[in-house]
Structure 1
Amino acid sequence: MKQIAQRVGVSVSTVSLVLNGRDGGRVKPQVARRVREAADAMGYQPNALARSLRTSRTHIVGFISVEVATTPYAGGMIQGAQDALSALGYVLLTVSGDDAQAIDGEVDALRRYGVDGFLYSAMSNRVVDVPRSLTRLPLVLVDATDAAHRFPSIEPDEFRIGYDATTRLIDAGCRRIAYVGCAEPMIAQTGRLEGYRQALVDHGIDVDERLRRDVLNNGPALRAVEELFDAERPDGFFCFNDARAWYVYEAAARRGLAIGDDVSVVGVDNHRVFAETLEPQLTTIELPHYEMGYWAANRLVAWIEGRAINESTWPRTTAVMPLLDTPAPAKVHCTLIEKASVRGARWAARRCPTSAARRDTP
């Protein structure tokens, strides 16, 4: 800083204000620009250790995942958080645990590193009991919420997922729309089922519970979907996720029915394996894992530093991220990725092939 001050002809305190981002209203803009240009030319890099001793902040964030690291979606969520934190001058440390004791141990380890705050995520959108060890520092929940809404949190808008998927099938001319749901009690199951029902009602279609099957996986799930085909003859299927859409594809093939012509299907996840394997490709709603990680990291830093974040600099993503001051739980309106499994879309897809939307990076 002394060398930069000598080169520009200003005081060391002026250089300190500029390089620490506190020059607004204190240093003339043209002087601040000259300081930054000199710092860049001289290869100035702040000493993170020295800064942490002075500010009592390490600029390290801990990401605690409950089984998330073992899922196909962990990469997007962690990448979103890492991209946001990197732009804000923070480093991300990620650990995983599958029970309260393991999580407490990981939290203690991260606290010894002096982390400034935590991101906490479960394997799927759910209400979580936040470990007491996490409540001593700023905390943001990712793809999860606590019952009392004590902490900022972000999750997919599950109701809109069901509503948008069903509406897409209705727009394609389907009238006997089945729901292949999840037999486990989950926030996603409840929200998507409610959205499915509401879309039918809003479009003047009776809700027929005979068109609903809640399944788990493997043989029993396939047999349940086959029975649904034979008993109710649906012309459209909204599936809880892309994995369950596979049972619809298989059952249709066994009956000589063509997906995208005789039967329309919409899934959820934009799961890479199913998205690249099923033929015709599956129209699906992409879950916003990157967006949730990115938003949560920005919300956490805003809390740690007690300041507003410039949201106008955020990257353009597949789904639009909510504002940081959105009350918990903040919900992301997920994006439908149009492919070829819905009636009328196959011809358009052949003329203009589409793939999952790519996000811009900063």
Structure 2
Amino acid sequence: MTTMKDIATATGVSISTVSLVLNGRDAGRVNRLTAAQVRDTAQRLGYISNPLARSLRTGRTRILGFVSEHIATTPFAGGIILGAQEAAIALGYMLLTVNADNQRAEADSIAMLARYGVDGVLYAKMSNQYTDVPQALVDYPLVLVDATDKQGRFSSIEPDEFTIGLDATARLIAAGCRRIAYIGAPDTTFAQHGRFAGYRQALDNGNIQFDDRLVVNVDDDETALRAVSDLFDREHPDGFFCFNDARAWYVYECAARRGLIIGKDVSVIGVDNHQIFAQTLIPRLTTVELPHYEMGYWATMKLVSLIEGGVPDTLVMPQTTTPLPPLDATVPAQIHCALIEKASVRA
């Protein structure tokens, strides 16, 4: 195994100089050319750092905790964990993920992360929401994912719910729709308010008068299908913006029962790019993709910046569907969500 002494001998410098360079503490202390030579030699000789020794020396484990609620077991939201993992690896950290579906499980999971000595924690929720941060986490560097701390104490990242409604409705208007229905969710749903506000703003921008008779807010059950069916017969919409892809299925079902063709007689846009609904409905559903991967990646970069006082300038950013916000964005940071064109909107 190659040691720092081997690298020092090969480059003709002291072991302390090699240590400064390989531990990233050479700025202002070691000549740049010398530092580059040390790194090149370390790579050529196959040097591998010892994480345990480094943690004892620095007081850091380079382990990040990820506390999730249902996310680890929900396929279409798993991109959050993937983004967090890839960012952690790029930054030289390991991600330890735990799934907590109730308060007791959450408390046990946080206690386990503490025993591993994590340097910081990502705290993620399903379906963008305000949340109370567990007291056991308040002293850690902490970033919330798809959630916002009710007391505004911690950095967080969430989808830009307003522009979801704005972009989707504007796309329907551009397709020639004038009686655009909104199939929403109960008002207790956090994202409902932003998406509905975006819907109304797009109508206003398109000089289309808002009509509350074109709005139905429903749960995911049989009464929802009846409500959408009544809307079809009562108001005859030519476009539908749906709170999510699951609600778009009700529109497809009602259109089929009336002999209407999606993408021709009526246009439909959902939200989620859910791998079941968006990929199996025929014609394929035009939808707004939630930035799960992007939220996980950004949150990890933000967390490491809190731990280390910044992220390396040499970090290679991934190719993402939508741009990441700056790390100094106001709380909560918001990510614009991409509209994925398929076939459910009139050409």
How far does the alpha carbon of each residue in 1:215-239 deviate from its partner, in whole angstroms, 9 at most, with x for none? 1123211111111100000000000
CA contact (8 A) 1:68 1:123 kept: yes
Structure 2 CA distance for aligned equivalents of residues 131 and 100 of structure 1? 9
TM-score (norm 1): 0.93
* Aligned counterpart, 1:6: 9
Partners of 2:91 and 2:315 within 8 A in 1? no
* CA deviation vs aligned residue, 1:11-40 (integer Å, no higher than 9, x gap): 111111211122233322322222112111
Query: Which runs of 5 or more residues in structure 1 are unaligned?
Result: 345-362
Distance 1:184 1:34 in 2: 61
- AA of the residue aligned to 1:299: K
Is the Cα contact below 8 Å between 1:68 and 1:122 reproduced in 2? yes
1:174 aligns with 2:174: no
Q: Deviations over 1:60-117 (max 9, x none)?
A: 0110012222222332000000000001110001111122222111101110000001
Is the alpha carbon distance of 1:173 and 1:311 closer, same or farther for their aligned partners in structure 2, counting shifts above 3 Å?
A: farther
Residue 188 of structure 2 corresponds to which residue in structure 1?
A: 185
Quick check: 1:60 aligned with 2:82? no
Gapped runs of 5+ residues in structure 2? none
The equivalent of 1:356 in structure 2 is none
Q: Where has structure 1 moved over 6 Å in runs of 4 or more?
A: none
Q: Does 1:218 align with 2:221?
A: yes
State the shift of 1:312 in Å.
6.8
TM-score, normalised on structure 2? Answer: 0.96
- Residue 157 in 1 paired to residue 160 in 2? yes
SS in 1 for 2:194: helix
Instruction: Output the amino acid matched with 1:141.
Output: L
Name the CA distance, whole Å, in 2 between partners of 1:300 and 1:170: 40
For residues 255-297 of structure 1, the C-alpha deviation after alignment (integer angstroms, 9 at most, x for no partner) is: 0111000000010001111121011111110000000000000
CA distance, structure 2, for counterparts of residue 239 and residue 21 of structure 1: 50
The letter for the 1-side match of 2:32 is P
Partner of 2:276, secondary structure, is helix
2:44 equivalent among 41, 45, 58: 41
CA distance, structure 2, for counterparts of residue 151 and residue 189 of structure 1: 23
Aligned with 2:292 (options 283, 289, 293):
289
The CA RMSD over aligned residues, in Å, is: 1.3
Match of 1:129 in 2: 132
Q: Aligned to 1:93, which of 76, 80, 96? A: 96
Paired amino acid for 2:149 = D
SS in 2 for 1:178: strand
CA distance in 2: counterparts of 1:24 and 1:94, whole angstroms: 33
Structure 1 position 309, deviation (Å): 4.5
Question: For residue 243 of structure 2, what is the aligned residue in structure 1?
Answer: 240
Whether contact under 8 Å (1:71, 1:123) holds in the other structure is no
Which of the residues 282, 307, 312 maps onto 1:304? 307
